[in-house]
A and B are shown apart, each in its own frame.
Chain A
Amino acid sequence: MLSIKNLHTSIDGKEILRGINLEIKEGEVHAIMGPNGSGKSTLAAVLAGRSEHEVTEGEVIYNGKNLLDLEAEDRAREGVFLAFQYPIEIPGVSNVNFLKTAINEIRAYKGLEPMKAKDFLMMLKEKQNLVELDVKLANRSVNEGFSGGEKKRNEIFQMAMLDPKLSILDETDSGLDIDALRIVANGVNKLKSKEKATIIITHYQRLLDYIIPDFVHILHKGKIVKSGAKELALELEEKGYDFIKEEVEA
């Protein structure tokens, strides 16, 4: 589904990613871990199409297409979803209106008619239950006045509504208490399928107790320095990031 080859990027002339290689197949869950400043969020931003990052080398093939050639909105329409680390507030625009616009834009891209109001409402209800989102939140302005936990839950709700093929969760666990964490993780688990893939970017092992990854990759100074099964995350938790640094720099 996703093939990242020797990806180098820089921002304001500063190199951040220094040769990322990663293969992701349908049905897989990949966790990307690493210390602060290792390039985790940059990788998410580059895949989603944030324009301030310059790709200096390498390629990203997504379902046979050169992902880097696509505009951010077209990547979304092709099924790439980013759950933001810091979800953005859009005052005055209701969640419902926002999602309806997004869904219909994606449908138009695929040559489909706008969704019928009745179908939309049914889907809304179903997905709300799935992520245990308060009905009131769906009608409020996008993320405006939401608590940290509500914002994160809203990201997963949007993910459920937009039904992406490749979901990238950027530190979705940060700022969540244990109950919220469980709800968010449950939502993600319910949305998993054989056709879809998930990239979980996280600092801590904690989320991976709930969403079991097939692979764990450790990012350090813009490179994947170690890959393994889920046990790697536990090892990391136990020994701390220093052991990676020592290993790499030794």
Chain B
Amino acid sequence: MNEVIEEKISTEYKYGFATDIDSDSAPKGLNEDIIRFISAKKNEPEWMLTYRLKAYRHWLTMEEPDWAHVSYQKPDFQDIIYYSAPKPKKVLNSLDEVDPELLKTFEKLGISILEQERLTGVESRVAMDIVVDSVSVKTTFTKTLAEKGIIFCSFGEAIQEHPELVKKYLSSVVPSNDNFFAALNSAVFTDGSFCYIPKGVRCPMELSTYFRIEAAGTGQFERTLIIAEEDSYVSYLEGCTAPMRDENQLHAAVVELVAHKNAQIKYSTVQNWYPGDKDGKGGVFNFVTKRGICLEENAKISWTQVETGSAITWKYPSVILKGDNSVGEFYSVAVTNNHQQADTGTKMLHIGNNTKSTIISKGISAGFSNNSYRGLVRIAKRAENARNFSQCDSLLMGDQCGAHTFPYIEIKNNTAVVEHEATTSKIGEDQLFYCKQRGIDNEKAIGLIVNGYCKDVLSQLPMEFAVEAQKLLEVSLEGSVG
């Protein structure tokens, strides 16, 4: 079995290629001047600079957290370039004006924006905001959306065009001093996505952002803010790939979701950033803060994530259930192989009455990897009749990997009903043999078994993503069981 695992480890990262686009970069390192440089580059108003500097000064007083079940060489924050934008900075009116190198990159990733745009006229329900090295290159579909009053643009644009909304909601869910990485992000974020769904509007298409870390040695600090007004609905897709690099790349994004009365936000992620080579060299450090708030009654926020990439994943998409009858959901598949380490889970904070949360977490570990689920369910004293159901399953492939579960439950109101189920299993020789005896070979059998195991989560993904995610699972685990 181990031989096959080792064989798999030699499988190279499929998306490892680098595109030659000139970057307009800041010098390495971080200080107040760099932050001023970024803010000036982005032509930001004074209040944004103030916000950044405040976050930065706070960050200086903070320690990098070490409570997660991961071990890594802490990044040298003075050895990172905090700003780099693709060169052709002129305003783009059509995709024809986009750097052809860039378009080629997207093609390699299998994202054809040309295809996307061609399809728009007909039936496509996906709008994409493409972010390369922190600057949105082109936002498609904006027009269609604008007709409904939906704002979907880069964060930089939102600061310019909709300062009142940004001012009102930025850091309303994740305070700029929330944690070490959130503070860093608040100080130096360069771009990201902004989305606003007005009252009573059901967003007619899936909104989608493809993040991509491009320039060597560049950290990526994305900022995403989604606001769903009363009675509105939006489904947002985030997909990520990064080219192969030798040095570790830091990624510290912040995502904030705000759902008003009766509003629903569905946020789906498929993440397959470079996990490092077979010896655990290289790979992306993914330290993300994702949090949503159900601000008023009957609001609903669902996080669905399929995580197969990154050397280190530190990520806990959470929901604050403030409004009465509000609902939070977390569906997660996390796959680790080789030397990958993932510490991921969620926090469900019940504050309102009759609030409900569901957590379904499926961890898959292979190779020498470590996969941890860490989750908190907190029922506040005033939260009457809160309910939570958690199910955390771990699947082990081979005998060199680890699976860990750290569930934290804090209940301060005795009307709460909290259920927690956890299982750990191994892909059994029996299951594999059963498949083989029916004519299905090892690789196909593993794909079948793993996809079956993850079904409850994959079924939450929009169609466009579900197929991609299924393939990704199979590729990520190729040859991991003998």
Contact = CB atoms under 8 A, between A and B. Distances in A.
Given A72-B433, A101-B444, A93 B451 contact: yes
A82 B437 contact: yes
A105 B445 CA distance: 11
B440 A73 contact: yes
A20 B451 CA distance: 41
23 contacts: A72-B433, A72-B436, A72-B437, A73-B436, A73-B440, A76-B436, A76-B438, A82-B437, A90-B431, A90-B448, A90-B452, A91-B453, A92-B456, A93-B451, A97-B448, A98-B448, A105-B439, A105-B440, A105-B441, A105-B444, A106-B439, A141-B452, A158-B438
Interface of A: 48-50, 52, 71-73, 75-77, 81-82, 84, 87-88, 90-93, 97-99, 101-103, 105-106, 109, 141, 158, 162
A88 B430 contact: yes
Contacts of B442: 73
B441 A73 contact: yes
Most interface-central of B431, B433, B438, B452 (chain A CB within 10 A):
B438
The 3 A-B pairs of least Cβ separation, nearest first, read A92-B452, A93-B452, A92-B455
B440 A91 contact: no
B454 A162 contact: no
A98 B438 contact: yes
Given A91-B452, A92-B453, A84 B434 contact: yes
A67 to B, nearest CB: 13
B449 interface: yes
A88 B434 contact: yes
Given A52-B429, A72-B436, A105-B440, 19 more contacts: A71-B436, A73-B436, A73-B442, A76-B437, A77-B439, A84-B437, A88-B428, A88-B430, A91-B453, A92-B453, A92-B454, A93-B448, A93-B455, A101-B440, A101-B448, A102-B440, A105-B439, A105-B441, A158-B438
Helix, strand, loop or mixed for chain B's interface? helix
Contacts of B430: 88
Nearest to B452: A92
Nearest to A92: B452
Interface of B: 428-431, 433-442, 444, 448-449, 451-456
Contacts of B451: 92-93
Contacts, number: 75
B269 to A, nearest CB: 21
A49 B452 contact: no
Q: Majority SS of interface residues in chain A?
A: helix
A93 B455 CA distance: 8
Contacts of A72: 433, 436-437
B449 A93 contact: yes
B431 A88 contact: yes
A102 B452 contact: no
Nearest to A78: B439
Contact of B437 (A48, A90, A109, A141): A48
A75 B430 CA distance: 17
Contacts of A75: 437
B364 to A, nearest CB: 13
B428 to A, nearest CB: 8
A93 B449 CA distance: 7
B439 to A, nearest CB: 4
Identify which of B429, B444, B452 gathers the most chain A CB atoms within 10 Å of its CB: B452
Scoring A48, A76, A81, A162 by chain B CB atoms within 10 A of each residue's CB, the highest score goes to: A76
Nearest to A88: B434
B440 to A, nearest CB: 5
Contacts of B449: 90, 93
B158 to A, nearest CB: 40
Given A91-B453, A93-B452, A102 B438 contact: yes
A140 B17 CA distance: 43
A130 B124 CA distance: 44
Name the residue in A75, A88, A158 with the highest tally of chain B Cβ atoms < 10 Å from its Cβ.
A88
A87 B431 CA distance: 9
Contacts of A88: 428, 430-431, 433-434
A72 B436 CA distance: 6
B450 to A, nearest CB: 9
A99 B435 CA distance: 10
A84 B456 CA distance: 28
Contacts of A82: 437
A104 to B, nearest CB: 9
B294 to A, nearest CB: 30
